[in-house]
Amino acid sequence: MTPATPELVRYGQDRFPEIRPTLVTVYAEVYAEELRTPFHSVERFEERLEGYASRPGWEAVLAYEGSEVTGYAFASTLPAGSRWWSGMLKPMPEEYTAEDGTRTLALFELMVRRPWRGTGLAHRIHEELLTGRPEQRVTLLVDPTHPKVKQLYESWSYTNAGDQRPFPDAPLYATMVRTLGGS
């Protein structure tokens, strides 16, 4: 018997309250081994999630097998004057980091529950989230202590722009960027 192909469903900001509990539950499952660190705690995730979902252009894509969520991703446009690039260890040129509220999509989370890992689902969710986006590029942070994850993003045409620490108690992350087909 062949397993079902998960269905992908896109949600806008207006439906965030409906999916919020699911986003938190899946996060707690996927990050179970890291929840003891303050930065990765469910409470801190919920704070970040509320902030991200309040931004213009926020969208999520959830994957479902029947009624069961198998994974998700969410992102929003970086606002004008965004501090996204301010945590870079090596300062970058202003023409690279200046945000106008339309230039860059920030991918905040992409996760797939264990039974569906290695099936290509992460890539399907990722590409669905990027489909039709008007931004010129997408950026994300990846923990460099997970080299396979970093290599996966590189295989999806991301390049490493340098390292950053986005919050004082956050891990050091590789900042990755990919060009999009937007205007």
Query: What CATH number should be reported for the domain holding residue 160?
Result: 3.40.630.30
Q: What is the pLDDT of residue 145?
A: 85
d(CA 68, CA 6): 9
The pLDDT value given to residue 23: 98
In a domain, 2, yes or no: no
Q: Give pTM, 2 decimals.
A: 0.93
Q: 47 lies in a domain? A: yes
Residue 1 lies in a domain: no
> CA dist 104 to 64, 76, 136, 177, Å?
28, 9, 6, 9
Task: Write down the pLDDT at residue 3.
Answer: 57
> What average pLDDT values come out for the chain (183 residues) when binned by 10 residues?
78 97 97 92 96 95 96 97 94 94 97 95 98 97 91 97 92 96 59
CB 37 within 8 A of CB 58: no
The number of folded domains in the chain is 1
Full residue range of the structural domain in which residue 136 is found: 7-179
